[in-house]
Amino acid sequence: MSAPSMPPDNSVQVEQMQEAAAQKAQDAATAKAAQDKADLLALRTSSAAGGSTSARDYFRQQGLDPSQYATDIDSQISSILAGISPTDPNPGAAFQDVGARIYNTETSGAQAKANAQLDKLFPGNFDTTRVNMQTINPYVTGIDAEQRQNADAIIQNMLSRGVITPSGQTAAESELDRQNPGVLAKLNEIGTTTVAGEQQSLRDIANQGRTAASTLKLGDNFDPNTYGSSADTQFNDFITNLGTTLRGKIGSGNLFNTAGLAAIAGAGQGAQNLPFDPTAQAGVVDPNAQANQNKDSQLVF
């Protein structure tokens, strides 16, 4: 009886078959990955296209022509797309409400631009730079001189009427010199409140512009010069009427106290045998007063 024969060695074929199967599986996986990648890319592209269409539709719903904002819309769509992972299976989620978001971004940009234009017209402290005490100091000085002139006229009248002597005049004028710092302080106080009021008026105009700029709707026109011109008009009117405004706040009286000038002049000149004229201190000259005095003197024997 012969010995059994050895089975054939198929190890090489088996190995080849295994390698072929592995390669086939690898090829299938590679193909699937490529297909998945292509599908995701197509999905990203279609999502971006859908977002662009949605954004343009939203702009139309707001009464705007989307072609006027095409560059900004496309730029923001591209920016959103760039932020989506290539493996994100749901890129469309990134474009949810994209129209409203782009619209809001554009609106914020328009408002920021409008406010920047206003900032050039109304920089920080523009109100105190445009109107301050230096603005009204010439008016304060002029009104002080007017007030002093009126007070001096009373002294001069008393002198011309013979109620006081030159030495009494000097004493009375010294009293006015003593009062002058207080008069200037009062005028400066009036001036300070006047300046503060004008500064607030200018700020109000600037704030009106800033409110309009901050609530500006996309597509609406905004002209910052409207507010700049309004501020110019306000300031020019203020300067034109400044003298009248200050005098109106002072009133018809005199800031210098002239009530005691006759007594001060009398004390300064000493005892004098001078005629009494009750109207002299008030600055009123009665042309008949001297004639009446002369008649009276003629009746005395």
pLDDT by residue for the chain (301 residues), tens only, comes to 566 667 777 777 777 787 788 888 887 777 766 766 776 778 888 899 999 999 999 999 999 999 999 999 999 999 999 888 888 888 889 999 999 999 999 999 999 999 999 999 999 999 999 999 999 999 999 999 999 999 999 999 999 999 999 999 999 999 999 999 999 999 999 999 999 999 999 999 999 999 999 999 999 999 999 999 999 999 999 999 999 999 999 998 899 999 999 999 989 876 554 454 555 445 444 333 343 344 343 333 2
Last residue of a domain, one of 84, 118, 152: 84
Residues 148 and 216 in one domain: yes
- Domain range enclosing 195: 126-291
In a domain, 112, yes or no: no
CB atoms within 10 A of CB 85: 10
In a domain, 255, yes or no: yes
First to last CA, the chain: 201
Can you say how many angstroms the Cα of residue 197 is from the centroid of all Cα atoms in its chain? 15
For residue 33, give both structure tokens: 């990955």
Residues 76 and 189 in one domain: no
Residue where the block lists tokens 């400044």: 242
Residues 171 and 243 in one domain: yes
Q: Could you tell me if 77 and 48 are in contact, meaning their C-beta atoms sit under 8 angstroms apart?
A: yes
Residues 284 and 144 in one domain: yes
In a domain, 92, yes or no: no
In a domain, 197, yes or no: yes
pLDDT of residue 297: 38
For residue 277, give both structure tokens: 């004229």
Residues 64 and 182 in one domain: no
Residues 149 and 238 in one domain: yes
Residues 167 and 253 in one domain: yes
Neighbouring residues of 167: CB distance < 8 A, sequence distance ≥ 6: 268, 269, 270
Residues 284 and 206 in one domain: yes
- Cα dist. 1→4, 40 in Å? 9, 70
For Cα atoms 146, 150, 154, give the angle at the middle one, nearest 5 degrees: 165
For Cα atoms 203, 208, 211, give the angle at the middle one, nearest 5 degrees: 120
Residues 77 and 216 in one domain: no
pLDDT of residue 31: 74
pLDDT of residue 98: 95
Residues 140 and 262 in one domain: yes
In a domain, 109, yes or no: no
pLDDT of residue 291: 37
Residues 136 and 254 in one domain: yes
Last residue of a domain, one of 28, 57, 84: 84
Residues 78 and 209 in one domain: no
Closest C-alpha to 115, from 23, 249, 223, 210: 210
Give the span between the Cα atoms of 92 and 22, in whole angstroms. 36
pLDDT of residue 29: 78
Rg for the chain, CA atoms, rounded:
47
Residue type for 69, please? Answer: Y
pLDDT of residue 268: 83
pLDDT of residue 289: 38
In a domain, 10, yes or no: no
The DSSP call for residue 277 is -
CB atoms within 10 A of CB 300: 5
For residue 273, give both structure tokens: 């045998």
Give the span between the Cα atoms of 281 and 164, in whole angstroms. 10
In a domain, 105, yes or no: no
Length of the chain, in residues = 301
Give the span between the Cα atoms of 192 and 199, in whole angstroms. 10
SS3 of residue 123 by DSSP: coil
pLDDT of residue 278: 53
Q: Could you tell me if 126 and 184 are in contact, meaning their C-beta atoms sit under 8 angstroms apart?
A: no
Domain count, the chain: 2
Last residue of a domain, one of 84, 113, 143: 84
pTM: 0.73
